[in-house]
Every structure is written in C-alpha cells, then in structure tokens.
Amino acid sequence: MPIKPTQIRRGIQSRNLRTTGEAPQIGRVARLRNPKQWQDAAGVGSASGGHDPAVVASRRRALVAWSLILTFTTLLVIGGCMVFWLFGRGNQALVADATPALPAARCVRKVSRFVAPTEQESLALVQRAFANHDPSKVESLFHCGAASVAEVMAFLGDGTARDGLIKNYVWLSSMDLEDLQIEGVMVTYAGQDTDDRSDRLALLTPDDQGTWKIDFEAFARCSRPAWKELLDGRVVQAQVRVIIARDNYFNGPFRNDRHWSCYGMGSPESKKLLPDGQDLLHGYCLIGSSQAKALEQLFTNDERSNQRDQKKRVTLEISKIKGAEARQFEITRVLAADWVLTPKAFDEKFE
C-alpha cells in the first residue's frame, strides 16, 4: 500500500515531540575515563581555585587586611575630630599682658537666689555702662567701692586716650569664686601701641537686691595708694590688684627659703612705672601664715596646679621691709581671691 504524504509528516512529528517534564533526547553519551580532564577543560576545580585551601586562605588574608585598614582609618578620623574639638574648647581668649589666662573649663555655677544674666544681658549692661555720660546713673551701673562717682566718670572719659578704642566685647560666662557670683566680660581694645595695650575685665556681681553691676575697682585694677607712690617710696604699704605665680627668688631679708614663700607679682598698671622695662615684683609671706595658706589654697584648687607657670588674680596688701630691694615686698594680707573685694578678707578663713 502506498504511503501517503500526510502519514510521513505525522511519523516525523511523533519522533520529535516530548511530553511535559520529559528530559531532552541528546543521544548517546560516552563516559569520560578521566574526570580531571573535564575539570581542566571547564576551568574549575583546583586549577581555578574554587575550593582550593591556598586560595581560600589568601582571600581571608586579604579580607582581614582590608578590615584592619578600614578600622585604622576610622580611628584616625575619629581621633582627628576629637583633637580639633578639644583644641577649639581649649583655645579661649586670654587677657593681654599681665592679665592671667582664664580657666579652660567654665566655672560651676554657684547656687544663689539671684538669677545670672544671659550673654546678651551681660554684654548689653557693659556696653551701656561704658556709653554712659550721666553721673546720676553711675551707681546703678557700677559697684564703685572706694571710688567716687567723679573718679569713675574721669576714668571712663580717659579710656580712649589711655587704652584706645574698644574693639570687642567677649562674654566669659560664669567666673564664680568662693561665695561670690561673678559674670565676666572681657573688653578688648585696638590701641595704637600694642605693647602697652592691655585688655580689661568687666566683672559683674549682684548687689543685695539682685541688680547686676560692674565692679569698677576690678575693671580699673585700682591700687590704693597708687602704684607710683608705692614704687617711689612715698608710702610703705598699699592694697594692690596683681597677677601672681609661684617663684623662687630669695635675697636680702627674704633670703631664707625655709621661712618664706616667694611669688612673682605683676600688674599692667605697675609695668608702666617700673624702670628698664622690668615688669616683675616679688612678694613674700611667712611659711605657715594664713597668707601663705590662702595663696597655696588658690593654686591647689586649680586643676592646673601642677604647672609652674600658673597665674592667679588676687587682691593683696603688701608692705616694704627695711633692707629689701626696690621690687621686694612682704604680703601682709590676702584680701580677695580675685580682683573683686568681699566683706571678709580671704585669708581670714585660714587663721
């Protein structure tokens, strides 16, 4: 019987069709005698390092090395940020010439019934006080102390000729000391002679009613009698506002270092009067005296007390002693632990 064309096509299709899930027909496959040859041909196995222990160890070493590099870089970045942050905090403004460096850390605010002025209020008070030309308003802006209103007005009126134009006001925030609330504002000047220019501290304290005012005598660094009279020998005793630091110059009646403690003293006011450009005086107090204990306490309380060049603001009573050099004085009283006087002398706490 002859085969029809349709039967031929059907026979061919029946050979090529697969049912769902059926594996493809790839014909006869011969088994490789050496599997290693197939691995080499395909580029896998030990030749490519797929699970080769040596390659795995190399990759692990590289991973560890990169981890260490990233960790070290991160630590360097963090350390650099910390250094810049600490430098910024430690880089506070200093009072020029003999005015001492202020503490790097802000003072802890003392508990008081009076609320301290804000930065804006403190700066506004200082600016208003220095712009005042009305004598009747002086006592509402300044603690005059032993100074008269006329003396305050005269000092402020001579400010430009003496110190130069005011350049800037810098808020120092809390400078509390002992039992006294103090807010500080540093007044900087653009004097023509920068060697003689000295910035001043406006120290604000509250009165009994809580009104904050500038301590005039601290701002003016008053000496009573004046430095000129003391250094000229016209008086033998004076109340002075100075910067002190530990010193070790023993000579004349103060030659015995077992009996005396020595301190270097300086003031921008006295510097202008000393000959030969000398700006250092020496003050001595008997070891074991209340004055020696008071001064030592000031340095001990300071966190930087281990620094030999540490300086402190103090108000002292000093006296000339027979046989002493022109710049040698005995410290007979420690009146205040800063330039602001208090009703009770600071050294009375150590009697």
pLDDT tens string 303-338:
554 555 689 999 999 999 999 998 999 999 999 999
pTM for the full predicted model: 0.68
Per-residue CA distances from 36 to 19, 54, 197, 263 (Å): 36, 19, 92, 92
Q: Which two tokens stand for residue 52?
A: 């080769």
Q: What is the pLDDT of residue 73?
A: 77
Instruction: Tell whether the model's pLDDT for residue 125 goes beyond 60.
Output: yes
Q: What is the pLDDT of residue 334?
A: 97
Instruction: Tell whether the model's pLDDT for residue 163 goes beyond 70.
Output: yes
Of the candidate ranges 36-40, 151-155, 167-171, 344-348, the one whose mean pLDDT is the lowest:
36-40
DSSP 108-152: PPPP-SSPPP-HHHHHHHHHHHHH---GGGHHHHEE-TT--HHHH
Q: Helix or strand or coil: residue 26?
A: coil
26-35 average pLDDT score: 46
Q: What is the pLDDT of residue 287?
A: 96
Rounded to whole angstroms, the Cα distance separating 140 from 134 reads 11
Of the pLDDT bands very low, low, confident and very high (cuts 50, 70, 90), residue 95 is very low
Spacing of C-alpha 262 from chain mean position: 28
Per-residue CA distances from 308 to 247, 248, 299, 301, 331 (Å): 8, 11, 10, 14, 20
Rounded to whole angstroms, the Cα distance separating 214 from 222 reads 14
CB atoms closer than 10 angstroms to residue 286: 14
Outline where the chain has alpha helix (H).
5-16, 35-42, 53-90, 119-131, 138-141, 149-157, 159-163, 216-220, 227-231, 268-271, 290-301
Domains of the chain, first to last: 119-220 (3.10.450), 227-350 (2.40.50)
143-170 average pLDDT score: 93
Rounded to whole angstroms, the Cα distance separating 320 from 328 reads 7
